[in-house]
Amino acid sequence: MKFTVNGTARQVDVEDDMPLLWILRDALGITGPKYGCGIAQCGACTVLMDGDAVRSCQITSDMLEGADITTIEGLGTPQALHAVQAAWIEHQVAQCGYCQSGQIVQAAALLARDPAPSDAAIDDEMSGNLCRCGTYPRIRAAIRTASRTLQEG
Amino acid sequence: MSRAGTIARRSFLIGSAALLGGVAFGVYAAKRPFANPNLTGVSDGAVSFNPWVIVTPEKVVLIAPHGDKGQGIFSAQAALIAEELDIDPARAEVSFGVPDRAYYNRVIADAAVPIKSIDTGATAELLRDVMGGVAKLLLPMQITGGSTAIPDSYDKLRRAGAVARETLKRAAANRTGVAVGDLRSENGAVILPDGSTIPYTDLASDAARIEPVTDVTLRDPSEWRLLGKPMQRLDIVAKSTGTQAYGLDHALDGMLHATVRTNPRQGGELLGFDASAAKAMRGVHKVLEIPGGIAVVADNTWRAFQAAEAVNCDWGLAPYPAEQVDHWAEIEQSFTDDRLNAKPRDDGDVDTAEGAELRAEYRAPYVAHAPLEPLNATILVTDTRADIWTGHQIPGFAAQFVADITGIDRENVHLHNQFMGGSFGHRLEFDVIRQAAEIGRQMRGTPIKLTYRREEDVAHDYPRHITMGRGRGKTANGRVVALDLQLAAPSVIASQMGRMGLSVPGPDAQLHEGAWDNPYGNLAHQRVRSYRVPELAPVSSWRSVGAAPNGFIFDTLLDELIHQAGADPLEERLRLMDHDVSRKVLEAVGEMSSWGSPLPAGSGRGVAFVISFGVPVAEVVEVTQTESGIRLDKAWIAADVGRVIDPVNLQNLAQGGMIFGLGHAMNCEITYADGMAEQSNYDSHAGMRLYQCPTIEFRALENGPKIRGFGEPPVPPAAPALGNAIFAATGQRIRELPFNRHIDFV
Ligand code: FES
Ligand code: FES
């Protein structure tokens, strides 16, 4: 199976039904995407696949041939932040932070598609990403800030 | 020579220590109860004679012993030290340190003291000191829980910073001949009168040779530079870039991956198993028998998960009633004299007070903690030592379990506490620690990461206890005149401490917490009695413990009485209060929510007020009945924490805590069938999702006489505020959680 992760070509030899989440975490050592539920209920494992936000716990290796995967690490780094990450820092969104990789990737996908989302569009897009710590008010605020930054930029 | 002096001299004598320098400062040099853990295992010649501050020639290290589950205490502890030490916490190294009795929690026992948490009179304080002292001697426990991390740290850590600062200044005075009084400190350095600076790191070896200056005065809050102002959490960049490492992310060379499956009837036996299919699966190294189940060790987590599901297990019966109805039946039978736990409040005479009577019965279910990061631990056991990487709220006990199971001496067990992806009380439990130790013991020399499947995590969550309340009250002349509440529940503390091999004598205060300690002194006739139900399913502390179910029951009963009296829910609560700090909190939330202003038809506001962990909290929720169910529109929360350390983090805790309380009240419960939890993952136990979240405004007040922790107090008023709002909007009074048993939410 050949595919790209954060711009680097990767190849793994695993079972057809092994999920991308575990390929990333255990085979490739990319730990930004988190395991929360394994059944598409929490969104902690969210990554971009050819630009779309997907639950990596549901993407099996047989779907990966030629795919372009971006994880939170590929979105931006502490030295070169993505606008969404910068907004997350400005609003100090995180509590435990465990859900936030998935939240940020999901928000980045939304803003790439819809740079000025309505409140309803934010609610629709983000409701598959569970935050057990309850950071939702800050997530909404950070998305609005990132939206402004991206439009000005 | 004093003990501190002896240690300082020893530090001086340890080979190159004096040359390389390095010194650690703490608070109670003369009267500290336990030896400084930094004395052993320090590297690079750094010496240490106190627990919280270490200065070496290279760096300043601040030790933050309270674990961080998301509440931001890692940063807050660093800020408390840094405020007095005059250093930018972002430029120091901050570490959880090693588990040690020196970091025992002084205030954790306060909740067990039979006096109201808001009573700060001299007698009450004396009793707390005595009890705290007893707890210190009997049970010196390093524990993060009970919203105690801030109150436990507030003086201790500032003092640690001040001692370090003054000692460094003394060292600088000795070196330069300038009087200490002419020296200042700023930004990690001592400043001389001519403006030149000596970095603390340069003074480390000098400071190691002198007695620490322990006669320090803490700065008045008006002089604070960091505390009380918005701070940037030290972990915020890592947590916004996917670079924060949690326990689940720990990796070691040659590491294998494990998962466990134990009897889903929690505490039941494994009667037998067939692992032949599992053993043949790709990547599987071993299937081990462990207490109550099996462990699979494989070359990656997913393969371990797959193989664990392929093991055929024969499970024994549950050591508690198999069906949920039988749990409730046991509780219903518990309102008897022989199960009376305590009668903490009995004012006036509820029986003879005159008025129209109201009776109602309330239920609060088992609820799972379900933090997003599933339980995990990475372990490496050799013949001579054990290392374990995990996030735990009682790390010293966890390390002791590892020692007991592996046979390695406690001093050779090293627990490396990790940032936690939530806990809500879940990481007070030890199953994952014991299982990791058992696997490590059976596979010495191989590093193993044990990860729970979410389903295993929920099945063994040790949920919040179930509670039933029987309420009665009387109203007359538009007022509430009497309230009589009986609460029955199994003891969380007994269940939890029992698994630690400890027993707690006397009545369990959590069985009436959040109900009896109310500020309604003007409600002349009131009685609260709690009844202790024999243990049913094993349970543990769930964010705010007894105050969540009891606060829901007490405040809902009060709200019902107020409505029966025809009074205004907020005005009548205010009238009943005789505690000024509480009254101001309730007034604040009334003002914030424009209480009393008209709402469209189909909308309603509910107010609730609960004191827990010494914090008066008032919440208002505004809901609208739509065609497809109840929508939460807006919410407000006001609280008095005595003193605000970081307003940004406090607001985050307020909003998050309220969301936690609301979400579980809306849709979460654990129920048992055939001895097993019927819920297994977030599809059946989610809490709130973003689209359901109301806007939430917060106001912090600082009128209370003591600083308080705020991890838990926002939770208890949320459920009754929502229930009271639903009643106001629809006329439907729901006396049972979760509310979605009776009503839909959009
Ligand atoms: S782990 Fe993939 S959605 Fe939860
Ligand atoms: S910040 Fe903890 S789960 Fe979202």
Q: How far apart are CA B7 and CA B440, in angstroms?
A: 37
Nearest ligand atom owner, CA of B248: 1
Is-contact B476 B524, C-beta < 8 A?
Answer: no
pLDDT exceeds cutoff 50 at B6: no
A66 CA: distance to closest CA in chain B (Å): 23
Identify the band that residue B37 occupies on the pLDDT scale cut at 50, 70 and 90.
Answer: low
Residues forming a β-bridge with B618:
B609, B638
**pLDDT at residue B30 tops 50:** no
pLDDT > 70? residue B457: yes
Are the CB atoms for B378 and B362 separated by under 8 Å? no
Query: Which of B330-339, B506-515, B618-627 is predicted with the least confidence, judged by mean pLDDT?
Result: B506-515
B472 vs B26: which has the higher pLDDT: B472
Pairing of strands A2-5, A68-70: parallel
Give the separation between CA B233 and CA B79, rounded to whole angstroms: 10
| Ligand 1 pocket check for A37: Cβ under 6 Å | yes
Query: E strands within B534-658?
Result: 603-612, 615-626, 629-640
Q: How far apart are CA B562 and CA B555, in angstroms?
A: 10
Residue B84, CB half-sphere, CA atoms under 13 Å: how many?
A: 30
pLDDT for position B26? 40
Check pocket membership of A44 for ligand 1, CB cut-off 6 A: yes
CATH label, A2-75, candidates 1.20.1260.10, 3.10.20.30, 3.50.50.60, 3.90.1200.10: 3.10.20.30
Average pLDDT score over residue span B406-420: 96
Give the CATH H-level superfamily of domain A83-152: [2Fe-2S]-binding domain (1.10.150.120)
Option in A81, A92, A101 nearest B652 (CB): A92
Indicate the residue of A42, A101, A134 with minimum beta-carbon distance to B682: A42
Same fold, B33-105+141-241 and B324-368+462-741: yes
**From B69, B300, B693, residue closest to A137, measured CB to CB:** B693
Write the single-letter amino acid at B82. A
Strand segments, DSSP code E, in B592-654 are 603-612, 615-626, 629-640
Paired sense of beta strands B386-390 and B189-191, if any: unpaired
Q: Which residue has the tokens 């009837």?
A: B265
Residue A23's CB: how many other CB atoms inside 10 A?
25
**Please, what is the angle between helix B547-565 and helix B718-730, to 10°?**
30
Ligand 1 atom with minimal separation from the A38 CA: 1
Least confident piece of the model among B44-58, B163-177, B327-341, B685-699? B44-58
- Nearest by Cα to B689 from A59, A130, A96: A130
pLDDT(A90) > 50: yes
Longest dimension (CA), chain A: 45
pLDDT at B477: 97
- Amino acid found at A40: A
Q: B212 — phi, psi (to 5°)?
A: -65, 145
Read off the pLDDT of each residue in B558-580 and give the average, rounded to a whole number. Answer: 98
- Ligand 1 pocket, mutate which of A42, A98, A103, A126 (most atoms under 8 A from CB): A42
C-alpha span between B430 and B436 (Å, rounded): 10
Distance, CA of B182 to CA of B156 (rounded, Å):
26
Q: Which of helix, strand or coil describes residue B630? A: strand
- Residue pair B371/B426 in contact by the 8 Å Cβ criterion: yes
pLDDT in tens, B536-559: 999 999 999 999 999 999 999 999
Average pLDDT, chain A: 97
Q: B324-368+462-741: which CATH architecture? A: 2-Layer Sandwich (3.30)
CA atoms of B168 and B189, how far apart (whole Å): 9
Region for residue B72 given its phi and psi (left: phi exceeds 0; alpha: psi -120 to 50; beta: otherwise): left
Question: Does the pLDDT at position B675 exceed 60?
Answer: yes
Residue of A72, A88, A93, A95 with the most ligand 2 atoms within 8 Å of its CB, for mutation: A95
- State in Å: Cα A38 to ligand 1 middle: 5
pLDDT number for residue B501? 86
Least confident of B149-158, B339-348, B474-483: B149-158
DSSP code, position B691: G
Q: Average of pLDDT values for B87-111?
A: 83
Cα of A104 to nearest chain B Cα, Å: 8
Ligand 2 centroid, distance to B239 Cα (angstroms)? 10
pLDDT over 70 for what percent of chain B? Answer: 90
C-alpha to C-alpha distance for B465 and B538, rounded to whole angstroms: 8
Element (H, E) at B313: strand B312-315
Q: Atom of ligand 1 at shortest distance to CA of A58?
A: 2
Local confidence band at B214 (pLDDT 50, 70, 90 cut-offs): confident
Domain ranges of chain B: 33-105+141-241, 269-316, 324-368+462-741, 375-451
DSSP-derived pairing of the beta strands B479-490 and B525-533? parallel
Closest Cβ–Cβ partner in B421, B451, B683 for A41: B683
Q: What is the CA radius of gyration of chain B?
A: 27
What are the structure tokens assigned to B303, written together? 């393969």
Domain B375-451 coded CATH 3.30.365.10: yes
pLDDT value at position B164? 92
Residue pair B271/B283 in contact by the 8 Å Cβ criterion: no
Give the ligand 2 atom nearest the CA of B422.
2
Listed residue (B523, B700, B733, B516) closest to B618, CA to CA: B700
Identify the band that residue B140 occupies on the pLDDT scale cut at 50, 70 and 90.
low
ipTM: 0.98
Helix (H) / strand (E) containing B75: helix B73-85
- Does the pLDDT value for residue B24 go beyond 60? no
Tell me the mean pLDDT in the region B477-483. Answer: 98
Tokens of B158: 């500032």
CA B1 to CA B30: how far, in whole Å?
11
Domain locations in chain A as residue ranges: 2-75, 83-152
Q: State the residue for tokens 């849709």.
A: B667
Which residues contact residue B195 at a Cβ distance below 8 angstroms, ignoring those fewer than 6 apart?
Answer: none
- Reference B661, options B624, B708, B696; nearest CA is B696
> b/e per residue, B207-235, with b = 16+ CB within 10 A?
bbebbbbbebeeeeeeeeebbbeebbbbb
Q: What's the 3-state SS for chain A? A: CEEEECCEEEECCCCCCCEHHHHHHHHCCCCCCCCCCCCCCCCCCEEEECCEEEECCCCEHHHCCCCEEECHHHHCCCCCCCHHHHHHHHCCCCCCCCCHHHHHHHHHHHHHHCCCCCHHHHHHHHCCCCCCCCCHHHHHHHHHHHHHHHHHC
Residue B190: strand pairing partners: B185, B198
- Give the residue from chain A lying closest to B376, CA to CA: A35
**pLDDT reported for residue B114:** 59
| Tokens coding B230 | 């918005």
Q: What is the mean pLDDT of residues A129-149?
A: 98
Does residue B4 have a pLDDT over 70? Answer: no
Residue B341 dihedral angles phi and psi, to the nearest 5°: -85, -50
- Describe the strand order of the beta sheet including B340-347 as a list of residue ranges: B340-347, B525-533, B479-490, B467-476, B356-364
CB-ligand 2 contact for A44 (6 Å cutoff): no
The pLDDT-based confidence of B111 (bands split at 50, 70, 90) is low
Identify whether the C-beta of residue B468 lies closer than 8 Å to the C-beta of residue B363.
yes
Task: Answer yes or no: are the C-beta atoms of A99 and A72 closer than 8 Å.
Answer: no
- Judge whether residue B480 has pLDDT over 60: yes
Q: What is the DSSP letter of A27?
A: I
The residue of A42, A69, A92, A139 whose CB has the most chain B CBs within 10 angstroms, and thus the best one to mutate to test that interface, is: A92
Residue B17, pLDDT score:
26
Q: How far apart are CA B696 and CA B654, in angstroms?
A: 9
pLDDT of residue B585: 98
Q: Is the pLDDT of residue B14 over 60?
A: no
Cα separation, B647 vs B476, whole angstroms: 43
Report angle CA B518, B520, B522 to the nearest 5 degrees: 155
* Chain B residues 369-408 within an 8 A CB cutoff of chain A: 370-374
Cβ atoms of B360 and B58 within 8 Å: the answer is: no
Beta strands per DSSP E along B354-412: 356-364, 376-381, 386-390
- Cβ distance B226 to B83 under 8 Å? yes
| Helices within B104-178 (DSSP H only) | 122-138, 149-176
Contact B691 A38 (CB under 8 A): no
Check if A37 has its Cβ closer than 6 Å to any atom of ligand 2.
no
- B448-451 vs B256-262, strand pairing mode: parallel
Q: Write the CA distances from A79 to A103, B81, B238, B240, B241, integer angstroms.
A: 20, 28, 11, 12, 10
What CATH architecture applies to the domain B33-105+141-241? 2-Layer Sandwich (3.30)
pTM of the prediction?
0.93
- Total H helices, total E strands in chain B: 19, 27
Q: How many CB pairs under 8 A join A and B?
A: 187
Residue-level pLDDT at A18: 98
The pair of three-digit structure tokens given for residue A104, joined into one six-digit string: 């940020």
Confidence label for B699 from pLDDT (cuts 50, 70 and 90) = very high
> How far is A3 from B361, CA to CA, in rounded Å?
60
**Do you know the residue count of chain A?**
153
Residues B680 and B368: beta-carbon distance below 8 Å: no
Least confident interval from B7-11, B123-127, B226-230, B283-287:
B7-11
B363 strand-pairing partners:
B468, B736
User: d(Cα B174, Cα B436) in Å, to the nearest integer?
Assistant: 52
Q: Provide the mean pLDDT of chain B.
A: 90
Question: What span, in angstroms and rounded, lies between the C-alpha atoms of B654 and B198?
Answer: 42
Neighbours of B607 (CB within 10 A): 27
Confidence of residue B668 (pLDDT cuts 50, 70, 90): very high
**Contact of A88 with A100, CB cutoff 8 Å:** yes
